[in-house]
Each structure stands twice: as C-alpha cells, then as structure tokens.
Structure 1
C-alpha cells in the first residue's frame, strides 16, 4: 500500500468533510441542496478546463468513456450529493452521516460477492472497526423519519457505486483532471435539467453566497475529486473507501470550529475508533494486497 495514495485519499476526505459546512451557510442565504449540487459542479468547469489547457491534456474521449462517465456522474455524483444534502432536511446530520458512511461496507461486499476478490484480514478488521466508529455518530433522537433515512442510505450505496465504477471500468487510467472535467460537466447538465423541471435552482442569491459556492466548488469538485480519483488508482477501491472515513471526523471538527458545536463523548469515541481502524490499515504493510487495480 503506497503512502502517496493514502495521503491523497485522506486529504480528499478532509476536503469533503469541510465543504458541507460552506454549503449549509449558503442555505441560510437563500440557496438549497439541489441548487447547490448544480452550482458545485458548474463552477468547477472553467477551472478544470484551464488546467487541461495549461497542461496541454487533450479533451478527446471515446464512446465507451462517454457512456461510463455519464453513468458515473448521474449515479455517483448527482444522486449521491442530492440525496445526502436533501436528507439533512428530514433527519439529523449525525444520523444521515452514519447511514451514508456505510458505503465502505457496500464497497467491500461488492468486491467480495460481485468481483470475487479476497479481502485480507487487515482490511476486514479495519472495516469492522470503522463501522463501529461510524455507529457512534448516530443521532438516535433524529432517526425517526423514514424518508430521510432512506435518502441517506441510498446516498451511501450510490457513493459506493462511484468508487467501484471508477476502479472497475478502468476510468482510473484516464488523466484525473480530464475525468473530473467531464464528470462535473455531465453532472452540471443533468442537474440543470432536473432543477429547471423541478423549479429548485436559485439564481437571485447574494454575492456572499456565490463566493462561498465557488470556493466550495473548487475545493470539492476540482481538488477533492481529483485527489480521490488519484488515491483510488494507487490503493484501490476498498482501501480508498476506508481511508475516506476521515470525512466524518473532519465534519465534527469543522462543526466545533465554525459553528461552535459541542463535541460529546459519543462522537469523540467514534473519531478515536475510526482513527484506530485507519491507522491499523495503514501500518499493516505485511498483508498482501489482493485488490485488482489496473
């Protein structure tokens, strides 16, 4: 397991754990979750285009890549973000986070039963510890709404699909900036169509909201996505899913720093257990990596 892949995945997880706080601030300024999903992808397009031009990376892709990226963006990005952001309106963030972060289990199960991969002892132990840690984030007082719970759970399934689709459809071989450019472009078009028909898009927002949206877009849809895709290409889908569990830890820290939220013993224990599971996986170098990473 390579240190570079681990670090890239962890940094992307920290970014993804921080940006929802920025998104939530824009909601108070008139934005909403579905509009935010569109803007997060749309504003990333020019930044990624300029990067591709600067690095002289050709934009040409074949028909197979177009189909794969369309499916990836629709299921892995649009559905994941829209469902997770929307679930916050029905259940507490703690409960939604818990259900969403069951995706490492979905990835591992898919690798074992669909792709017939053998997970080593270290990954199995790390996965179990991580799931125990995630359980400590559950807000039992806010999990009564079935609609929100289903949304958060499906967002975990679709995010697990995102991780596996990049790995197993060989999209990891594509330049990460190029892949990200097409992912955000396809996602923007898909969300724009959905927002127009649904009437969710918000145009008349204050300057402060647009500044936060652009900042969030660059962090999540440019830097975060590129780093995560690079991490998957190095360490594989299952390991990337486990190391991305730094995201809920970051969310807790962000809540304390930005919103002055109180961190209770339950969440603190969850952070510690997740950190132990990730550390165990990182130092378990003696285990043979049985994931197929092409």
Structure 2
C-alpha cells in the first residue's frame, strides 16, 4: 500500500463525505478509493468511518488520524514547495473561483495570461455566483466581494469598487430622471435576484445614509443579463462600476442621482489557512494586484498586506 497516496485519498473522502465524490475529484474509480480506505483501515487496525447508505461519517479515531494526516500532507507540500523555489516553473494545478460577471469580464483574461506565463501549470477557472467552500470544492483561491466574516480562511484585500445607479438614455427620455432618492419608487427598478429581500435600497449621499423605496420590475442572477435589461430601458438599477463603466463611456448607460450610491464594496482574494502559502497562490495574487489596476472603477490597495 502506498501510504501517502492512501492518506491523501482518506483526507478527501473525509472532507467530501462520499467515496464517489472523492473518486471523481482524484480521477479514480470508486472501487479503487474504497480499496485504499479499506487497506488503510487494516493497516491502522481501526475503522475510519461510520458507514451509511448516504454518507460516510468520520469516527473518533478517524478524526484524530485526519488531523495528523493533514499536518503530514501539509509538511510534504511544504517540502516540495521549498525545493521548487529553486525552479522558476510553476507546476501542479491552480483552481480559482470567482463571481460570473467580474470573472467573465476581467478575471478570465488575467487567468489566461497567467497560464501563458506558466505553461507547466494547469489552471482551472470556475465562475459561479455562489460562495464556494474552499475545502469541499478544492479551491486554491476564491475572489469574493463584500465584508469578510471571521473564519479560518485568509483574506487579502485587493481593492474596492463603487456601486452606482444607472439607466439608459432612452429610459430617461421616456420616464424622466429622479431628482431625489424618494423618486426611485416612481420608476421601475432592475436588480440582482440575490439582493437582500424587500423593496428598499440602502444608499449613501451628501447627508449620510438613506433607505430608498423601490419597485422591482426585473430581477436576474447574472450581471450581464441585468446590464442588458438596463440598456434595453427596463428601468433604473444599481451596478458595480467596473461592470458598467464601459457602457457609460459608450453612452449606453448614464449615471442617475450621481450624488448617491451604495457603500463601496471590497474585493478579496481568499485562500485556506496553513503553515505556509503555496508559491503558485502567492504569485497569482501578486499578479492580480498588478493587473487589476487596469480595471476602470476599481480602487486598488496601495500597500502590501
């Protein structure tokens, strides 16, 4: 039995909860994964899992072994990382998770360019507006918006962006432009389907915060669909400035109530905590910090954190 390989397999089964999920990720058959776990249990003389028809639950002994195995695997990674420092080539895989709109409009280009600079690396870009579980989804780096909740993850702030109110010139010609936030309820509102429930939007203006009533007429879970709806004149909407600045520059959208907007939103690179930061992650985040300065409407951090 290859104990290191079996240890890696056990860790992923413990984290994912099923043999089939671990097999898919590791590129093995389910029987092969089952055989590795069985061989490891025979070697250790304990049961690592409580087995049911739906899920595997780690036993008390399995939990102790999981923690120590994770330490050993991290140590192996650290040793390999130390040796690879003598080579300029990045190897292995780098799995990146990001929101769809930002990812498709900007990040995809950055990841492609990074891959071109490191041809021995295998880059995986997953675009999804849900919050990924870095461990379960095997994500190396996640790009996340908004305030970061306290967790065992490491979040490095990359910058922040403004969120502004916009509409198409045709909409303004037909329906007029609101003069104050109270006027928004007289207009149709286009918004993201995952926005906080309720027909109110929190704005910040010259005199501080104000909650403005709205009347939603179109909702979607994709930023590009929302931009199309705004350009089509369905109503007024709040948008991330980096995603609509090109449309504003091209005259397809105009700012509404320019003295008001949502609170700026932070953007972070998030990765799992550990005793060391893999070189591929470190170099990718540094690359993002340099390349993202070209994004319109994005305020980058000025110092290393």
Q: What is the TM-score with the length of structure 1 in the denominator?
A: 0.21
TM-score (norm 2): 0.21
For the pair shown, which has the larger CA radius of gyration, 1 or 2? 2
More helix by share: 1
More contact order relative to length (CA 8 Å, sep ≥ 6): 1
Q: Greater strand share, 1 or 2?
A: 2
